[in-house]
Amino acid sequence: MARNTIDFLFFQATVACHFNTKFASLEKMTDKEKTIIITDEHVFAAHRKKFRGWNTIVLKPGEEYKIQVTVDVIIEQLIAFGADRQSFLVGVGGGVITDITGYVAGIYMRGIRFGLVPTSLLAMVDAAIGGKNGIDIGIYKNMVGLIRQPEWILFDIDFLKSLPLIEWRNGFAEIIKHAAIRDAALFRLLQQQTLTGFRRQPKLLERLIRTNVLIKMKIVTEDEFEKGDRKLLNFGHTLGHAIENQYELSHGQAISIGMTYAALLSEQLTNFKQAISVIDLLERYGLPTRAAFDWKKVEKVLAMDKKKSLVGMQYVILKKIGDAVIHTIPVPELMNHLRNLN
Ligand code: GLY
């Protein structure tokens, strides 16, 4: 029988992951009087009863609100609640909520404690894990933020009952990414299963979430500040982020297109022969693999990318399924390759 709680050790923090745990257990994990929940209107409306009796800040939903103005709104409400250094924040929501909660917890009174309850598949397998948090500035995603770990993360798949299909697909984009860079067995499982199959089998879904949390936690605990292997998690994200806010794609759609180009680029730069398997798998989970873009706009955003060094862009490519490497490539050369793949 798998354990429900696993502690992950970071340099300065321990993060307890409570798998297969009901939201109601929150009562035992944090002092209600000192706790303030941050959520959004969608999650609040779909799970109103769960929030009864908790101090709650309800935000407008959507990536367009992952901005400084929202941070200011939250801070004003925290002040109105009388929040102090003993207060505890709990982010209950998708990636926008987990990111913004971690960020506010990092800066309010120079830092207060926090926990996360991811409610989307994407947040469960990716956004809530790793401690990176922050906000977007215009079209530049996650331009401002910090790395700070939550004390715990609670996983309750009950929340997924209200998740729209597009959000399931977004989660599978990150799951396919984990499989492509680190886990060939997971890649094969995904090839055999379907999104509907996972939705209908809670035990299989629990295991899938746990496997993905373990993959990401192993990478981020070994390299919290992204000096080495953590960069591999950016597979599909360089181009993905460059197109996400410009074309109003969901995160999963954007990185799916990013992974397609990265897989094709891998065939040009390494001996990788399985781009077609990556593309087929993305399509199997309802994700787009191609789009027409304005490459000039893409180049402008890539020029500001955080993964850029003096030598060039650190691009993640595949050697084989389950085995990724970083390839440093000057931006003009990268643009030529990418344009030729179109
Ligand atoms: N919050 C997502 C990460 O740290 O990668």
Whether the CB-CB separation of 179 and 322 falls below 8 Å is answered with yes
Distance CA(269)–CA(272), nearest Å, equals 8
Tokens 């779909």: give the residue: 46
Q: Is the CB of 132 under 6 A from ligand 1?
A: yes
Centre of ligand 1 from the C-alpha of residue 129, in Å: 5
Residue range 220-229, pLDDT digits in tens: 999 999 999 9
338's enclosing H/E stretch is: helix 331-341
What is the distance between the alpha carbons of residues 38 and 285, in angstroms, rounded to a whole number? 30
Tokens (6 digits) for 303: 């020029």
- The predicted-structure confidence for 125-170, as pLDDT tens digits, reads as follows 999 999 999 999 987 888 999 999 999 999 999 999 989 999 999 9
Residue 7: pLDDT band (50, 70, 90) is very high
β-bridge mates for residue 58, sequence order:
39
Q: Where are the beta strands (DSSP E) in 168-241?
A: none
C-beta of residue 171 within 8 angstroms of C-beta of residue 120: yes
337 is catalytic: no
Residue 237 is among the residues annotated as catalytic for this protein = yes
178 lines ligand 1 (CB under 6 A): no
Q: How far is the CA of 28 from the centre of ligand 1 (A)?
A: 26
Q: Taking the CA of residue 179 as centre, how many other CA atoms within 13 Å lie in the half-sphere pointing to its CB?
A: 20
Q: Model confidence over 201-251: pLDDT tens digits? A: 999 999 999 999 999 999 999 999 999 999 999 999 999 988 886 788 999
**Cβ pair 243, 293 in contact under 8 A:** yes
Amino acid at 58: V
Structure confidence by residue, pLDDT tens digits, 251-264:
999 999 999 999 99
pLDDT at site 98: 98
- The residue contributing the CA closest to ligand 1 atom 2 is 127
Q: Is there an atom of ligand 1 within 6 Å of 307 CB?
A: no
**Cα–Cα dist 341/192, whole Å:** 29
Q: Which of 292, 171, 295 is nearest to 242 (CA)?
A: 295
Distance from the alpha carbon of residue 300 to the mean position of ligand 1, in angstroms: 24
- Is 216 labeled as catalytic in the residue annotation? yes
**Atom of ligand 1 at shortest range from CA of 102:** 1
How open is the CA angle 323-330-260, to the nearest 5 degrees?
45
**Are the CB atoms for 291 and 247 separated by under 8 Å?**
yes
pLDDT tens digits, one per residue of 54-68: 999 999 999 899 999
Higher pLDDT, 227 or 291: 227
Q: Is the distance from the beta carbon of residue 171 to the nearest atom of ligand 1 less than 6 Å?
A: no
Q: Name the pLDDT band for 20 (thresholds 50, 70, 90).
A: very high
> What pLDDT, in 10s, does the model give residues 299-335?
888 877 766 676 788 999 999 999 999 999 988 888 8
Instruction: Please indicate whether residue 234 is annotated as part of the active site.
Output: yes
Contact 324, 318 (CB under 8 A): yes
The rounded Å distance from CA 127 to ligand 1 centre is 5
- The C-alpha atoms of residue 304 and residue 326 are separated, in whole angstroms, by 19
